[in-house]
A and B are shown apart, each in its own frame.
Chain A
Amino acid sequence: MLLAVQSTPLDFLPIALMFVVALGFVVIMLFLTHQLGPKKKSKVKLETFECGIEVQGNARLPFSIKYFLVAILFVLFDVEVIFMYPWAVNFKQLGLIGFVEMLTFVGFLLVGFYYILKKGALKWE
């Protein structure tokens, strides 16, 4: 049983047009700014900024694992949210059963969320 929804790949053609226009604009801007403007390079000028002192090493440094954990949790939550879209669109058709189904799903999500909070994975100091 398929719903009578009309949508074709042709709907996406204008997006491609916009992409071409925006890409052209960005390329022209970057090219122009490269051509215009003075070009007086010196060694000191091309160094990176470090509040006036000499640069210590470079910025290829490892950073806190917290950010990494946030990124992993984001991926998981993002997938959960994606699952909700087909449900939300059909919310009225699916009725009470659908609502209970999603409550179960959200319940599991909340259990995981509670675990994350309990373990202090999102604690920043």
Chain B
Amino acid sequence: MTLDFLIYKIILVLIVFSITLLVATYSTYAERKIAAFLQDRIGPDRAGPFGILQPLADAVKMFMKEEIIPNVSNKALFVLGPGICMLTACMTGVIIPWGKTINIGGTDYPLQIADVNIGILYLFGVLSLGVYGIMIGGWASNNKYSLLGAIRASSQMISYEVAMGISIIALVMTTGTLSTAEIAAQQHGWHWNVLIQPLGCLIFIICAFAETNRAPFDLPECETELVGGYHTEYSSMKLGLFLFSEYINMFISSAVIATFYFGGYNMPLIGRWVHDPNALAILGIVFLFMKIVGFIFFFMWVRWTLPRFRYDQLMNLGWKILIPLSILNLVLTGAWMMRHEIMVYFVK
């Protein structure tokens, strides 16, 4: 390990972190604009041209609001809840390959913070820890609505984690690796995984909606039943951290869906016209972000189109439909990949 390596990693970490924050901030703006567009309204248009400075105004407002900690709450845990939520949301970005390697002065710099051998498992580990922030925050508030919201949210998240895990296993069978960099690199040209794993991709996307607590799976915060859900008691930036982590999760989920199933930074045919590796790498980043923006738009489109599930429907979808479907997908994938061996066995 050299000093160069360390400096390069620190710079990469800072860049990815700030881009994550920037995209999440502007997702809030995009959400309001898209909601307005879908409902034939104008949306925020006062702060700056087209309301483009609205997220900044929101951030200032969040900071300047009074911080209220209910006197019956568990104070330390009350502060800890949103902190954990934000922390786990930020930690998933490290395994996303944002592009190929960039060559500066004869040295190759991969555009991925940490290419760990067990990338997918790391992702699941961080994902499974996301429950804690919501649970601790909801419980520490000592409010019945918060408690119910927190329990609902955590039950929902753990239920969909199983189906998500099984659908990913079918993907791992075809790729033969858990490294995200490897998975992205395998999908060059038209070899996108969604073409090999359409059912697995569908299950994964549905589970990603449930994991991020986005509509139609936003029962933990359904205002008609539970006031504000697990963050009923929160105010100022602590509320901001909860909401913000939701948008970060949405951004990272979009990046993960794009990387796992939709080719990541790859774009078919681009290699015919562009030959310079550095230009290709930069174009790769552009393509990945185009896909990510597409998925973020999809997330928002679904939110403003579909009504919310009822809780029993949600649980039935997770346990009785998605888990059997993902197991079926696993077995079918295995049988298809082993078709020659099975044929040989029966012919003999």
Q: Do A and B come from one complex?
A: yes
Taking residues whose C-beta sits less than 8 angstroms from the other chain, chain A's interface range is 35 or more
* Per-residue B-contact encoding for A80-119, CB less than 8 Å = 1, 0 else: 0100110011111001100100110010011001000100
A18: chain B residues within 8 A (beta carbon): 13, 16-17, 90-91, 93-94, 113-114
B1 closest partner in A (C-beta): A10
Shortest CB–CB separation between residue A19 and chain B, in angstroms? 6
- Contact indicator B178/A89 (Cβ below 8 Å): yes
The answer, yes or no, to whether A2 is at the interface (CB within 8 Å) is no
Tell me, in angstroms, the Cα distance from A117 to B66 when the chains sit together: 49
Q: In chain B between 147 and 184, which residues have their CB closer than 8 angstroms to a CB of chain A?
A: 147-148, 151, 155, 158-159, 161-162, 165-166, 169-170, 172-173, 176-178
B147's partner among A25, A63, A103 (CB-CB below 8 A) is: A63
From residue A10, how far is it (CB to closest CB) to chain B in Å?
6
> Complex: how many Å from CA A36 to CA B338?
63
Which of A5, A10, A63, A84 is most buried by chain B, counting CB atoms within 10 A of its CB? A84
Provide the main secondary structure of the chain B interface: helix
Tell me what chain A mostly uses at the interface: helix, strand, loop, or mixed.
helix
Shortest distance between the CB of B279 and any CB in chain A (Å) = 26
* Chain B min CB distance to A120 (Å): 12
Is B142 a contact partner of A58 (Cβ separation < 8 A)? yes
Which A residues are in CB contact (< 8 Å) with B117? Answer: 5, 7, 11
Q: Enumerate chain B interface residues (CB-CB to A < 8 A).
A: 1, 9-10, 12-14, 16-17, 62-73, 79, 82-83, 86-87, 90-91, 93-94, 113-117, 120-122, 128, 139, 141-148, 151, 155, 158-159, 161-162, 165-166, 169-170, 172-173, 176-178, 227, 232-233, 236-238, 240-241, 311-312, 315-316, 319-320, 323-324, 327, 330-331, 334-335, 337-338, 341-342, 345
- The 4 lowest CB-CB distance pairs between A and B, nearest first, are A33-B237, A124-B312, A22-B90, A88-B172
